[in-house]
A and B are shown apart, each in its own frame.
Chain A
Amino acid sequence: MNFFDTVIPYLLSGISVGGQYALIAIGYTMVYGILRLINFAHGDVFMVSGLVMIYLAASTPLYVAIPVTIIVTVALGFTIERVAYKPLRTAPRMSLMISAIGVSYLIQNLALYITGGLNKNYPEIPWISDKISIFGTTTTRVTLITPFLTLALVLILVWLINHTKIGMAMRAVSKDFETSQLMGIKINNVISATFVIGSFLASIGSILYFTNYPGLVPTSGSMPGLKAFVAAVFGGIGSIPGAVIGAFIIGICESLIKGLDTILVSQGIIADPVGFATFSDAFTFVLLIIILVFKPTGLFGEKQTDKV
């Protein structure tokens, strides 16, 4: 088997999972940009979105289940901010962080209570789960759709931030709460908008992500959430393009490491599989440590223009 044919499936799946991480990572990076908060509950919102989809799809058709899932996820993100973060607006940042960790565990435990900790089967979504053939390999349609959908959503988001009034307000609030207020901007509304956007994208990411997996447990949000967080740090937390690029890099690397045994064996470089796939998760976190040591601001870290 030639090199190209062996690598392509891993590359495709890497790009796809990268897109899914990107949709989660944007929520982390936007919230950090505006509140300087690492929203630990974001991965769990992603999980809940999957859970809601499972319960809804069991009783309603998909054309109802999908939009309602998105609405419920957005409402959850909005509510978390209003209940757990807004009252702490003037509290030290550490309190906010602890509140976020609390929300994360609360959601996981509620999900555990509701599901009884059992693996819940994710509904099969027709059309996007169909098998298709491309570049001589077989994959599902969702693998191909994900990167394009992600890029489209990111472009819309970037346009929104750079060319609309609410986007301008977001950029202003992320730099200076007090002066933004003096302009008449209601910062609570802007912060809510950030959580709404983040949860919306996480919900889309959740549908694309869980379609590839047979089921979901209450901790299913943790690993993708953590990886998306690493992607956001890698890209420079606070930066949207950074988070997206970081997510694609992590997705692709992770997928290639998973396939490294197969690739190397097929090329005759090694005779027997070594078990590289075991390290695909570890890679992400090694990457996190390396970034934090050598370039803490990430690829596109915040510009320092503090001229006064």
Chain B
Amino acid sequence: MLSIKDLNVNYGGIKALRGISLDVPDGKVVTLIGANGAGKSTTLRTISGLVKAESGSIMWNNEELIGKPIDAIVTSGIAMVPEGRRVFADLTVLENLKIGAYLRKDKEQIEKDIQWVYDLFPRLKERSWQYAGTLSGGEQQMLAVGRALMSKPKLIMMDEPSLGLAPLVVQDIFKIIRTINEQGVTVLLVEQNANMALKVADLAYVLETGTITMTGTGAELLANPKVREAYLGKSN
């Protein structure tokens, strides 16, 4: 269980997060929705250790994450699929998966997990020897997810996985999110596509200018008139 309490983050004088608190229970899909600049990505980047917190706490299975180096956070079972996919374009698909397992020492199990990712995404298997830069946007997203899975995370954080993808591909991505979750991995999802995100989420938070303004189950927020108006583009 990941539990954030009163987290403050400043970006060069600008308050990106103003004392947010949220919980990500084990085995669930939790989503953060909100407009551009609301602090969604900052939240993920702070959890992963890329951004330093001003104050507050991020407890992960009773361990404080704030102040820990990034690699220790990865080892503790948290992986991130960064915004814009950020696959290593000059590395092959297989190398991208191997680098996802960079901190692991169990060689035999790594080989098995590569096969497991290939079973999950047969398209990647076909393109195993291709440079990641030659893949389509959707395939790159699959690779970014596969790469994150290779660290054997208990929690996977995804930053705008549907961004810039065709609607059909977006549906695939959300299917993948469900599949990963069914495998027992907790998912923390940041999305602008609020409609899709809320449908898949067990628990959802709405972020506005660095503060959490609403929370509930995915279904509750989908039905909430304010959410419908602000994030789903539907009036009542």
B134 within 8 A of A: yes
By the criterion CB–CB under 8 Å, are B91 and A171 in contact? yes
By the criterion CB–CB under 8 Å, are B91 and A168 in contact? yes
Contacts of B91 in A (CB 8 A): 168, 171-172
* Known interface pairs A169-B99, A184-B74, A184-B151; A178-B88 also in contact (CB < 8 Å): no
Checking B48, B84, B137 against A182 with a beta-carbon cut-off of 8 angstroms, the contacting residue is B48
Contacts of B102 in A (CB 8 A): 165, 169, 183-185
Bound Cα distance A172, B85 (Å): 14
Bound Cα distance A131, B108 (Å): 54
B227 to chain A, nearest CB (A): 30
B143 to chain A, nearest CB (A): 12
By the criterion CB–CB under 8 Å, are A178 and B90 in contact? no
By the criterion CB–CB under 8 Å, are A182 and B133 in contact? no
Encode contact with B along A173-190: 1 for CB under 8 Å, 0 otherwise. 001101101111110000
Q: How large is the interface on B (under 10, 10 to 19, 20 to 34, 35 or more residues)?
A: 20 to 34
8 contacts between A and B (CB under 8 A): A176-B88, A179-B82, A181-B49, A184-B103, A185-B99, A186-B71, A305-B90, A305-B133
Besides the known contacts A179-B82, A184-B151, 20 further A-B residue pairs in the complex with CB atoms under 8 A apart: A165-B102, A168-B99, A171-B88, A172-B99, A175-B90, A176-B86, A178-B86, A179-B86, A181-B70, A182-B70, A182-B80, A183-B99, A183-B100, A183-B103, A184-B71, A184-B75, A306-B89, A306-B133, A308-B137, A308-B164
Which residues of A does B touch, CB under 8 Å? 165, 168-169, 171-172, 175-176, 178-179, 181-186, 303, 305-308
Which residues of B does A touch, CB under 8 Å? 48-50, 69-71, 74-75, 79-80, 82, 84-86, 88-91, 95, 98-100, 102-103, 131, 133-134, 137, 147, 151, 164
